[in-house]
Structures are given as structure tokens and as C-alpha cells.
Structure 1
Amino acid sequence: MPRVPHIPRELAFLPFSGSRAVAAGLVTWRMLRGPSWCRLLPDIYVHVDGYREDDHRMWCDAVALTLPGGAAISGLSAAFLWGVDLLPPASPVFVTLPGTARRRSTPRVSVNQRSLSTQDVTRFAGLPVTTGSCTAFDLGRRLPRTDALVAMDALLHRRVVGLPALAGYLDAHLGWPGTAQLRELLGLAEPLSESPMETRLRLLLHDAGLPPLVAQHEVHGENARGGRVYLARVDLAYPQWRIAVEYEGDHHRQRAHFRRDIARLNALRAAGWLVLRCTADDVLRHPTRTTHLVAAAIRERRGLQR
């Protein structure tokens, strides 16, 4: 019967430095070349049971072992660690290194070089990562405009950073590349936004010149006794015209969710609300049609109020 190789507890799950593990007597180089270990990066290994090709956290753990002093996981990878996953498929780990460091970007590691102050870096589960303010600052000025607002909304929604803190960080870094975009987006950011597509829909309507929307608006009605009762919370609203604009994701197609949606929609209609429901297709592929739909609803409701 073949002997099951002994796996040191310290190396059972997380990536580790091969040279340090060998120096500590935990494994040998011959063992590391065997089938029980996966080489992730130069000198960085993980046990096969802990290897997941698409596990970004594993790759963050691995890359962190190679970072010099003053460096940190940053950008979209920092946002991921803070609970905001906006990473594209097969994304590299984004890091910021001091200007004195010599390291090129690879398919696994995307390098940005600038000096980080000690106030810009914190620890997350043992990993060096840019703070919420620094992360939002970098994403808000470096990503394309729509993606930048999506990232800012998500970080604000999870309370990784607050609007006053981000505004203060911006004021302390005036003149940096991309800060003009970030300042504009600060005026559009919405901590109540609950999904990237909701942010994209809100920005689409804003850019079309439509009036500002209220996010996560609670609608109330009256019961048979004339008392105030809660009816629903809508994604985006024009309360003055009783117009709700909702983003419908795939989860709305589930049977139980569909039934709740019908009851909710009927309650809103009974209260005099017009509900416009938008899908990803409406936002991404037919933006003009979508903005015209909302604009027409506003004109109609304005006409009824005259």
C-alpha cells in the first residue's frame, strides 16, 4: 500500500515560500517538485488541495509573499479583499510598489509604481492592502468613468470608505492624474446603490440629461383605516411623479421571486406608481431606447399634474 506523504500543518492550505519552507526543514526541494505541490510563482508554492485556478484570494496570498517593504495589494484586488468583486475573468493581482522596486507586470501580477505613505496601507487578514480611501481614490481616477463610479458606489455601499473621507483624501492629492474625473464622480456617487447595474442605469439616465433620481426609495400607501403602510422599496425613483425605475437581474426570474414581484408591482400600481423595469440588455445594448422610455414617462406624468 503506497505511503501517504506527510503534509506539514503550516503548508497544508495557504501559499508559502519554498526556500523558507526548505530552510525550516518542513519540505525538501525534491518534495516540492513532486505531485503534491503546485508552483504558483517563482519560489511560491501551494499544496494541490489548496490550489484553485480562479481563486483570486489564493493568488493575493501568493503575491503578497513576494512584495517588498512599502508595497501593497491595490486597485481592483484591494477592492476584492474589501468585499467588492469587480474583477474581470483571469484577472492578475494588482499591486503598488515603491518607485525603487524593480518588477515588471506579468499575466499574474499587474504592477503600478508609486510611493505609498504609511497612512495609505493597512493589513487585511495579514496581507498588506491599500486603505479604503486610497483604494477608492485610485479606482475612481484610473478606471474608465462608468467602471470608476461602479467601484466607488460599491466601496461606499459596503462602508469601506465614506464620502467625507474620500473627499478629504482627494483634497490632499490635488493635481494627481485623473482627479478631475474623480471629483466629478464624487458628486454622482451613491452609497445606497446595491448593484453595479443599478449604478450603470443611474449614470445612463444622468448622462442623458434626465432629472436626478432617488436611490432605494421607500413607497408608502394607506390601509383601509387611513393609516400609513409600507408598500415597497424601489431601486430608483422620481417620487414627485410617482415613477419607479427598476433594474431586473436574473434572480427575478426565479419562481418565488417572480411571485413576490407581481404582488409588489400590483401594490405600486394601486398606489398610483408607474414602474419601468430595465434589464442588462436595456442598459448595455439599447441605452438610447431606455433613456427615451424614461423621458417619455416623465413627460406623461408632468402632463397629468398640470
Structure 2
Amino acid sequence: MPARARVPRRLAFLPFRGSRAVAEGLITWSMLRGPAWRRLLPDVYVHRDGFRAADHRMWCDAVALLLPPGAAIAGASAAYLWGADLLGRDAPVSVLLPRTARMRVPPRVRVTRSAVAAGDVTRFGGLPVTTGLRTAFDLGRQAPRTDAVVAVDALLHRRVVRLPGLAAYADEHHGWPGLPLLRQVLAVAEPLCESPMETRLRLLLLDAGLGPVTAQHDVLDARGRFVGRVDLAWPALRVAVEYDGDHHRERAHFRQDVARLNALRAAGWLVLRFTADDVLRHPARTVALVAGALRERQTQHNPSH
């Protein structure tokens, strides 16, 4: 059996420019056309072992090799690098280009042209990436509104950006497209929301007129002891709403949830639990259930009404 060809260390894992690697004598064009290498983009290659572990970060590495000066990874791709995963499957890499920059846009790349100040771009893991402020500013101006709120909430929760700083940044960019939408987003943004679906559930209830609602509320018993933290709450009425993701179906997590739910009920709380299906496919039913629970508790607190 023939020995496996030695892979240059610099080319073993990360994407690279083929022309540069050939010019430096690390590899030949005939080798790049062989089965050990994968062409990702024009003149951008990766070893097949790196390709097997391909994720959005790898595609950001690949696209960054083609970016002209002043351009940066941006939008949902920048949010991903900052730790807020808002991407769907096989999502393109989002790139911000200065209006005067030229670039042949390859597949898997989504380009936005805009003014890009030097202070709007930083380095993250060796890549040019929009700062947390610019990332939140851009995503918060992109319709639909729910997606914009989800993005800003996620970046706030990761502490990539803070609300006062984002509001001040928006004030400094008067007249930019999408600012009216960003103002709406800032009015309802919540740094305590822990997941995109939790944000979607919270926004669904707010838009139905069921606010104000408290995020990540600590429930205490009559003796002041901690019982549990609920996703969304109306503390005065002791009503809580929880979003249950797939991890709640794991056996250990399920057992913990049962014990926690019993403790919350013992403390006098009414807890409603919803899944992604409830939020995305049956929003009217979800709103009706929560509204009914709130009316029930209001009646108990004010029997004369």
C-alpha cells in the first residue's frame, strides 16, 4: 500500500490560497487537483480532513482570504463568531464591503455594501470582523422585526454589546437605513433572554398585549428560599411561562424539570410550558393559553372583578 503523502503543516487544517501555496513551493497545482484537497472557493482550498469537520467558522476562514482591504465578516456570520449562533443550515457567509471596494462574489457569500469606518472592524481569531456594536447595529436594522430582536437579544445576552452603547451608536448614525426598525428593537430588547426561541416566545406575548413580563425571574418560597428561575414571569400573579427546548427531553433533565415544576407549584406558581411548535406553528393558541392563565389569576386576586 503506498505511503500517504506528507501534508505541509501550514496546509493541514485551515483553508489557504492555492496560488500562494504553490508560489511558496508548499504544493503543486497537480497535487491540488488530487483527491486529498477540496476547492472551497476560487483559489481557496482545504485538506480533505479539514473539510470533513467543516463548519461556519471554516467557511468564514475561507471567505476572509478573498476579502479586499476594509471589508469584514459581518451580520449573522460575525454574530456566530462572537458566540451568538443565529444561522440556519448551510447559511452563506455574510460580508460587509466598503462601497468603493471591488470583489468577485463567490458562492456561499452574501454581500452588503455600506460605509465602513475603521473603528467598525476588529480582528477575531485572525479574521477581520465587524465589532460587536456594528454587528448588533446591522442585524437590528434588518427585517423582519422578530429576527432583528432575536439577534440583538442574543448579542446582549453574550455581553458582546450593551443596550446603552447600542442606543448611543444608533444616535450617532442618524439617517441610516433601517433605523426606525432598530428603535423598535431597542424598545423591547432583553439581555436576560437565554435563547432565540425564548425571545420569540417573549415577543409573541408582548405583541399580544400580555406585557410587561419579567425575564429570568427568581422564584422564592414563603421563607425566602430559592425555588427556581423561570424564563418569563408575571411575579404579582405568580404566573410563569417556560420554553422547553430539545434538551428538556433528556432523561436527567426531565427528572430535574419534574422536581422543579412540583416545587414551583408548591410555592403557589402556575407554570405553562411551550415548545418551538407552539410558538412557531400555533401562536394564537399559545397566546390564548397564557391570556387565560393571567385572567384566572387576576380573578383570584380580585374576586370582586
TM-score if structure 2 supplies the norm length? Answer: 0.96
- The amino acid of 1:280's aligned partner reads A
* 1:185-211 alpha-carbon deviations (Å, 9 max, x no partner): 111111110111110010000100112
Distance across 1 between alignment mates of 2:91 and 2:191: 26
Distance 1:40 1:247 in 2: 38
Provide the C-alpha distance between the structure 2 equivalents of 1:106 and 1:31, rounded to a whole number of angstroms. Answer: 23
1:270 aligned residue: 266
Aligned partners of 1:295, 1:106: CA distance in 2, in Å? 49
Displacement after TM superposition at 1:180 (Å): 0.5
Q: Work out the CA distance in 2 between the residues paired with 1:71 and 1:277.
A: 44
What is the SS of the residue equivalent to 1:87?
Answer: coil
Name the SS of the counterpart of 2:34 in structure 1.
coil
After superposition, the C-alpha distances for 1:72-124 in whole angstroms (9 at most, x for unaligned) are 00001101111111112111111011112233544311111112111100000
Partner of 2:244: 248
Residue-by-residue CA offset, 1:6-61 (whole Å, 9 max, x unaligned)? 21111111011111111111111111111111111111111111114751111110
> What stretches of structure 1 of length at least 5 have no aligned partner?
none
Identity among equivalent positions (%) equals 68
**TM-score normalised over the length of structure 1:** 0.95
**Aligned equivalents of 2:144 and 2:25: distance in 1?**
48
SS where residue 111 of structure 1 aligns?
strand
Per mean C-alpha deviation after superposition, the further-off stretch among 46-55 and 212-221 is 46-55
**1:70-81 matches, cutoff 5 A:** 70-81=70-81
Aligned equivalents of 1:258 and 1:277: distance in 2?
Answer: 13
Take 1:48 and 1:160, find their aligned partners in 2: how far apart are those partners?
34
Who is 2:147 aligned against? 147
In structure 2, distance between residues paired with 1:212 and 1:266: 26
Q: Aligned-residue CA RMSD in angstroms?
A: 1.3
1:298 matched to 2:297: no
Equivalent pairs, count = 302
Q: What is the alpha-carbon distance in structure 2 between the residues aligned to residue 216 and residue 171 of structure 1? A: 29
Q: Does the Cα contact within 8 Å between 2:75 and 2:94 map onto a contact in 1?
A: yes
Where 1:142 maps in the other structure, the secondary structure is: coil
Counterpart AA for 1:90: D
5 Å-filtered alignment, 1:1-306, equals: 1-52=1-52, 54-103=54-103, 105-222=105-222, 227-306=223-302
Asked whether the equivalents of residues 136 and 151 of structure 1 are also in contact (C-alpha less than 8 Å), the reply is yes
